[in-house]
């Protein structure tokens, strides 16, 4: 017993000594651990805050990007250049589109408003109302560099809000027209510094956190207002965050050490924790379990509802029964968070109608492939006659066709590539299994076109034949970046659409692209051709049967300083395409008036013919502007003749007809040029009461009796309609005599004279 007692005493002493050493060691370690824990707490919190705030800012950027690309908002801003043009339904449409994003911002308490600003109409749409006389360019945060070529959203500097006077930061995405990239306005999310600071401060649960945001070089803003500087006290721990706002704004965290340590109570708890841990551990765990059961009882009752919600969101069956209630709650919580994130990502990166990847996702995927130096092809597809389907069957049928087309293309592509919706009826395939052009061409014609040989059935059992044109550009051989790929594949697609050989797929090549570059250069330089004095007029005489000069046809020439001489055949169509032909047309008329004003005084019967483009004639005030020019130089309109083509007459445009009739009323003559090369019907000649019929030179090329007989009969009909005849392309004496003998009125061609400049013409007639 004594031995046992001694053993027990020794064991007790050893135990007590061990416990004492353990307590002492633990006390030292706890003290050190406490300091390290505080430090790690600060570091972990500021890194987590930095990470979460950075994520929130990127999410906000994606939201304003989505808003700025919303077709309803863009369409409304394009239609309503002024505040007065905006009706109630259009206001409601924009407000509804803005409200659809409010749900994403519920968890972001520091976001105050979503705003849409019209830069052309100077109005603001915010909080369900419209404010007029609100100028985007007068905002205090606006900077010239914001308008440089860039696609990403902008985080502005700290500024004072126009309405509340509070300090704020804004997330801005400019809204641009889809047609010409002109500025329409901006989508804006406002962050008040008070709300952001309150949000950041409230996240720290270990004590007091003071957040400071730098508003200029010498001042910071906090919950206490504006201060000059932040003092580094002994009991304070200061952490500066990186530039997470991406606008140079500095955010500073100031932690209170004393509150975190919690003075003596924290030390007492740490000293006795080891002693009481063993005794109270089990009891504590039991109490905790009991407390958890009681606390989470209402939540556990809602598990079934949460399970149904999760299964509906994920379209998937989860294994719940093998897990306890807390494990189920954890699974649901994690899954709901991921599902919500996926839903947001789906809205941002997928097309709302077809559910296909959208343009933003297209850029992301292609940039990843380029970053990894992967070889791939971009196939730009445009549906033919889609507008016709929309007009005939309605937009719902058109929408269903787009969805069905996307689904079929997904099935065909499989693992070969990804189909994305670019815009409207345009799709782009990212063909990442690209091997060579031959393989891709074989796949396109066999698998893709083969699938669309038969009509597809869409809504209401409508059968629609789907036809499309496509162009291909490859990386890295054909293009250097994603924009280059899109531009080149788009160009090849339009080349395919215009191809007379009915080629459905065209691959990019340098020859075609260089031609495109040259065309674009011609279009660009045309804009400056008048200002640079590069255009010149030549005049070809038109003579009567006595070989006396009676008229002239004005012919334009372009001697570009950069490209040299360019034939009218190589630039007139592009001038019509970009609208520059209107400006050039007025220049031609004014140049004739300047040169011939004195000559018309002594040769009052002379007449100068001007070729008029259909683009000019659809200008509603074309005739009035011509009259203004002739009046300016005291030129009688009877000295001018305007030559039009058969296509102008066939279209039967009311504005065109009004201009022609008004020119007639002013005294000008109207001639139909190149008669016989197109529709060639006499019915519209009578309708327009034309003055001159110019017969194309193709009628006299063979010099047969049949040719002259046709011209003779045309002449007879023209004379019945009180029209004069001008024969173009007369090059020999034989042709002139034969045409004179059948009674033609006027002649034009190299037999008499080539086109000459004004000085040569002046000498020629005098």
Of 6 and 342, the one with more pLDDT: 342
How would you label 553-568 residue by residue, b for 16+ Cβ within 10 Å and e otherwise? bbbbebebeeeeebee
List the structure tokens of 608: 């100068």
Strand, coil or helix: what is 424? coil
* 640-644 and 669-675 strand pairing: parallel
Of 200 and 716, the one with more pLDDT: 716
pLDDT the model gives residue 766 = 74
Q: Does the pLDDT value for residue 333 go beyond 80?
A: no
pLDDT the model gives residue 271 = 58
pLDDT the model gives residue 28 = 62
Q: What is the tens place of the pLDDT at every residue in 132-169? A: 888 888 788 888 777 776 668 888 888 888 777 888 88
- pLDDT-derived band at 264, boundaries 50, 70, 90: very low
**Contact by Cβ (8 Å): 146, 109:** no
Domains of the chain (ranges; CATH) run 1-261 (3.30.450.20), 359-508 (3.30.70.270), 533-765 (3.20.20.450)
651-659: Cβ within 8 A, 24+ apart: 651/614, 653/617, 653/618, 655/617, 655/618, 655/619, 655/620, 656/614, 656/617, 656/618, 657/688, 658/620, 658/623, 659/617, 659/619, 659/620, 659/622, 659/623
Q: What one-character DSSP code corresponds to residue 749?
A: S
Among 158-167, 321-330, 607-616, 696-705, the least confident range: 321-330
Express as a percent the part of the chain with pLDDT over 70.
80
| Residue 25 φ/ψ, nearest 5 degrees | -60, -45
**Contact by Cβ (8 Å): 310, 318:** yes
pLDDT the model gives residue 613 = 93
Q: Does the pLDDT value for residue 58 go beyond 60?
A: yes
**Contact by Cβ (8 Å): 456, 463:** yes
CA atoms of 124 and 94, how far apart (whole Å): 11
CA atoms of 97 and 119, how far apart (whole Å): 19
CA atoms of 673 and 642, how far apart (whole Å): 9
pLDDT the model gives residue 265 = 43
Q: What is the tens place of the pLDDT at every residue in 3-40? A: 334 444 544 555 566 556 655 665 565 666 566 666 67
Residue range 743-766: mean pLDDT, rounded? 92
* 456-458 and 159-160 strand pairing: unpaired
Among 322-336, 343-357, 548-562, 600-614, the least confident range: 322-336
Among 193-202, 340-349, 555-564, 655-664, the least confident range: 340-349
pTM score: 0.48
Q: Does the pLDDT value for residue 317 go beyond 70?
A: no
For the chain, count helices (H), then strands (E).
Answer: 26, 28
Helix, strand, coil shares, percent, the chain, to 5: 50, 20, 30
Residue 705 parent element (H or E) = helix 705-720
Q: What is the tens place of the pLDDT at every residue in 455-513? A: 998 887 888 889 999 999 999 998 889 999 999 999 889 888 876 566 678 898 888 77
Q: What angle do CA 715, 721, 727 make, to 5 degrees?
A: 30
Total Cβ atoms within 10 A of residue 358: 22
Q: What is the tens place of the pLDDT at every residue in 116-136? A: 888 888 888 888 788 888 888
Q: How many CA atoms lie within 13 A of 617 on its CB side?
A: 26
pLDDT the model gives residue 283 = 53
Residue 669 parent element (H or E) = strand 669-675
* Residue 120 φ/ψ region, left for φ over 0, alpha for ψ in the -120 to 50 degree band, beta for the rest: alpha
Strand, coil or helix: what is 420? strand
Residue range 704-728: mean pLDDT, rounded? 91
Find how far residue 666's CA is from the centre of its chain: 46
How would you label 325-352 residue by residue, b for 16+ Cβ within 10 Å and e otherwise? beebbebbeebeeebeeeebeebbbbbe
Residue range 271-298: mean pLDDT, rounded? 55
pLDDT the model gives residue 381 = 95
pLDDT the model gives residue 332 = 60
Instruction: Provide DSSP, 52-111.
Output: HHHHHHHHHHHHHHHHHT-HHHHHHHHH-SSGGG--HHHHHHHHHHHHTTGGGGTT-TTE
CA atoms of 565 and 694, how far apart (whole Å): 28
454-461: Cβ within 8 A, 24+ apart: 456/401, 456/404, 456/405, 456/408, 458/397, 458/400, 458/401, 458/404, 459/396, 459/397, 459/400, 460/397
Mean pLDDT of the chain: 82
pLDDT the model gives residue 232 = 66
């Amino acid at each position: 017993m004594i031995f046992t007692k001694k053993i027990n005493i020794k064991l007790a002493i050893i135990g007590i000594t061990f416990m004492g050493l353990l307590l002492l060691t633990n006390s030292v370690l706890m003290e050190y651990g406490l300091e390290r824990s505080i430090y790690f707490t600060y570091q972990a919190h500021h890194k987590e805050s930095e990470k979460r705030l950075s994520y929130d800012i990127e999410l906000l950027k994606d939201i304003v990007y989505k808003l700025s690309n919303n077709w309803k908002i863009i369409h409304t801003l394009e239609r309503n250049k002024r505040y007065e043009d905006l009706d109630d339904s259009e206001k409601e449409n924009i407000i509804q589109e803005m409200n659809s994003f409010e749900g994403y911002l519920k968890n972001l308490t520091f976001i105050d408003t979503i705003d849409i600003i019209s830069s052309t109409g100077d109005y603001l749409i915010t909080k369900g109302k419209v404010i007029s006389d609100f100028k985007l360019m007068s905002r205090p945060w606006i900077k010239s560099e914001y308008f440089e070529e860039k696609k990403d959203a902008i985080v502005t500097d700290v500024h004072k809000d126009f309405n509340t006077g509070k300090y704020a930061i804004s997330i801005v995405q400019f809204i641009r027209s889809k047609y010409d990239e002109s500025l329409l306005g901006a989508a804006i999310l406002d962050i008040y510094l008070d709300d952001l600071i309150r949000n950041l401060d409230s996240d720290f649960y270990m004590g007091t956190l003071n957040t400071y945001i730098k508003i200029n070089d010498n001042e910071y803003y906090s919950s206490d207002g504006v201060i000059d500087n932040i003092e580094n006290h002994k009991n304070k721990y200061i952490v500066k965050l990186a530039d997470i706002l991406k606008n140079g704004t500095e955010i500073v965290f100031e932690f209170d050490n004393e509150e975190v340590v919690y003075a003596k109570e924290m030390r007492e708890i740490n000293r006795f924790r080891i002693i009481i841990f063993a005794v109270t551990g089990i009891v504590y765990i039991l109490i905790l379990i009991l407390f958890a059961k009681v606390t989470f009882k209402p939540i556990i009752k809602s598990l079934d509802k949460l399970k149904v919600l999760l299964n509906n969101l994920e379209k998937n069956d989860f294994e719940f029964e093998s897990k306890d209630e807390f494990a189920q709650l954890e699974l649901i919580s994690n899954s709901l968070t991921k599902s919500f994130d996926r839903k947001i990502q789906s809205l941002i990166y997928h097309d709302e109608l077809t559910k296909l990847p959208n343009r933003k996702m297209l850029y992301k995927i292609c940039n990843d492939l380029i970053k990894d130096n992967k070889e791939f092809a971009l196939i730009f597809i445009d549906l033919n006659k889609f507008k016709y389907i929309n007009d005939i069957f309605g937009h719902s049928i058109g929408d269903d066709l787009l969805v069905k087309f996307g689904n079929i293309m997904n099935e065909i592509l499989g693992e070969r590539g990804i189909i994305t919706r670019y815009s409207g009826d345009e799709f782009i395939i990212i063909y990442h299994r690209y091997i060579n052009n031959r393989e891709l061409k074989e796949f396109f014609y066999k698998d893709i076109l083969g699938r669309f040989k038969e009509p597809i059935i869409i809504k209401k059992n409508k059968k629609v034949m789907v036809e499309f044109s496509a162009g291909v550009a490859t990386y890295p051989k054909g293009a250097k970046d994603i924009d280059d790929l899109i531009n080149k594949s788009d160009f090849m697609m339009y080349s395919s659409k215009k191809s007379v050989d009915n080629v459905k797929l065209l691959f990019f090549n340098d020859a075609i692209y260089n031609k495109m570059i040259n065309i674009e250069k011609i279009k660009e330089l045309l804009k400056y051709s008048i200002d640079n004095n590069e255009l010149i007029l030549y005049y070809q005489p038109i003579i009567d049967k006595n070989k006396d000069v009676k008229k002239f046809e004005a012919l334009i020439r372009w001697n570009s300083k950069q490209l040299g001489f360019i034939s009218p055949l190589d630039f007139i169509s592009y001038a019509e395409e970009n609208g520059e032909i209107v400006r050039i047309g007025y220049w031609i008329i004014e140049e004739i008036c300047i040169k011939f004003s004195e000559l018309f005084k002594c040769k009052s019967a002379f007449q100068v013919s001007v070729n008029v483009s259909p683009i000019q004639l659809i200008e509603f005030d074309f005739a009035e502007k011509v009259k203004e020019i002739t009046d300016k130089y005291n030129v009688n309109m009877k000295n001018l003749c305007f030559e039009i083509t058969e296509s102008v007459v066939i279209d039967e445009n009311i504005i065109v007809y009004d201009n022609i009739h008004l020119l007639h009323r002013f005294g000008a003559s109207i001639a139909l040029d190149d008669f016989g090369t197109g529709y060639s019907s006499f019915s519209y000649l009578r309708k327009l009461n034309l003055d001159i019929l110019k017969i194309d030179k193709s009628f006299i090329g063979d010099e047969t009796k049949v040719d002259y007989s046709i011209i003779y009969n045309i002449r007879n009909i023209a004379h019945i309609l009180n029209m004069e005849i001008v024969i173009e392309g007369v090059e020999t004496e034989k042709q002139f005599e034969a045409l004179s003998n059948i009674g033609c009125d006027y002649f034009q061609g190299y037999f008499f004279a080539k086109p000459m400049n004004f000085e040569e013409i002046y000498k020629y007639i005098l």
